Copies of this chain bind each other. A is one copy, B any other.
Amino acid sequence: MSKFWSDIVHTLTPYVPGEQPKLKNLIKLNTNENPYPPSPKVLEALKAEAAETLRLYPDPNSDKLKSAIANYYGLQANQVFVGNGSDEILAHVFQALLKHDKPLLFPDITYSFYPVYCGLYQIQYKTVALNQQFEIDIEDYLQPNGGIILPNPNAPTGIPLPLAKIEQLFKRNPESVVVVDEAYVDFGTESAVRLIQQNPNLLVTQTLSKSRSLAGLRVGFALGHPDLIEALIRVKDSFNSYPIDRFAEAGAIAAMQDQAYFEHTCQQVVATRERLVKDMQALGFDVLPSGANFIFAKHRVKAGCELSAQLREQGIIVRQFQSPARIKEYLRITIGTEAQSQALISALTQLI
């Protein structure tokens, strides 16, 4: 507390990211990172950036990166916005597109950064309860609103919503922007990107942190109608002219271009997930259906906090949420390599 603070600072409840422990040799299954390294072509492109040219500013508009992303999805560059990780993009989205007279809607159990952004930009919002099965029911979003945002697949549940449902959501809310946060979409959930051309109120956000193994590089993007993108550009150019550094641009371009590597590693993660789900079910876990690179699972007997603490003693870190009460018994477990997955199952077998 300080008299020098702007009023807003006193009211903020910042987001708390998953722990980034500084110990080595942990099996780190708590922040949904990809267990596989970035593409060798990405590393090569990055090495080339460590050069004299770093004395110069990057392209403030990241035009080459926008083109690479547009090419990948068959869009135009003016349908693409890029930022310093998808969290920065979401921050701009909340400020530029989601502050209206009616409340913003999002699920009661979802990415816990959403209410934080609402606090930062003083956006009124209303949470919509997931159903008994932790699913999003889009009928619940047919109420007056100033915008809708939801992750697909949802976090931390991992449950994917079929594209036909997403489509109803923005078709039946034509006066609102509908933001589909597809941070985890590449692990088996159907993307809404191909519906962008026909739908001016649909914005899709994605990240290179998960499916392209580049959490350490900080690049995310948004795709949508040029009018929506224009709003994001205006806010970005009133905030920071150069958010994407030379490494981030070069690495992200190489990552978007190496489709074979991307598809191969995503398939590996999905295959490991399918095996892990079966093994966990055999150990007495209820596992929610996942279209993500993590699972959300509850043991029928053992408490979530107890399991989480015991795994930690064995050097395995998973994420467990204290609130809301409905998800307290669940563990959110990132899909690791096959070996990490087997180590997890061995540890759980001992504990249960």
Contacts and interface: CB of A to CB of B under 8 A. Distances in A.
A6 B216 contact: no
Given A5-B96, A84-B243, A231-B5, A14 B55 contact: no
B234 A12 contact: yes
A53 B36 CA distance: 10
B38 A54 contact: yes
B175 A3 contact: yes
A69 interface: no
Interface in A1-46: 1-9, 12-17, 20, 22, 28, 31, 33-38, 42-44, 46
A9 B54 contact: no
Given A4-B228, A218-B242, A243-B88, A120 B235 contact: yes
Nearest to A117: B238
Given A2-B231, A9-B231, A84-B84, A15 B58 contact: no
B227 A12 contact: no
Interface in A240-284: 240-248, 251
Which residue among A38, A60, A209, A247 has the maximum number of chain B CB atoms within 10 Å of its CB?
A247
A95 B231 contact: no
A12 B216 contact: no
Contact of A87 (B22, B177, B234, B240): B240
A201 B54 CA distance: 34
Contacts of A33: 55-57
A116 B241 CA distance: 11
A242 B244 CA distance: 13
Interface stretch (A73-81, A97-105, A313-321): A97-105
> Which label, helix, strand, loop or mixed, suits the secondary structure of the A interface?
loop
B240 A88 contact: yes
A154 interface: no
Q: Contact residue range for chain A? A: 35 or more
A214 B100 contact: no
Interface in A190-237: 200-201, 209, 213-218, 227-228, 230-231, 233-235, 237
A11 B201 CA distance: 21
A306 interface: no
Nearest to A239: B91
A235 to B, nearest CB: 7
Nearest to A116: B238
A50 interface: yes
A293 to B, nearest CB: 11
A188 interface: no
A246 B234 contact: no
B88 A7 contact: no
A8 B99 CA distance: 9
Contact of A177 (B4, B91, B119, B239): B4
Interface of A: 1-9, 12-17, 20, 22, 28, 31, 33-38, 42-44, 46-47, 49-60, 84-85, 87-88, 91, 95-100, 116-117, 119-120, 175-177, 200-201, 209, 213-218, 227-228, 230-231, 233-235, 237-248, 251
Given A4-B177, A35-B55, A88-B243, 16 more contacts: A4-B228, A4-B231, A12-B238, A15-B238, A28-B56, A33-B57, A37-B52, A54-B217, A54-B251, A55-B215, A57-B216, A58-B218, A87-B240, A91-B239, A117-B238, A216-B245
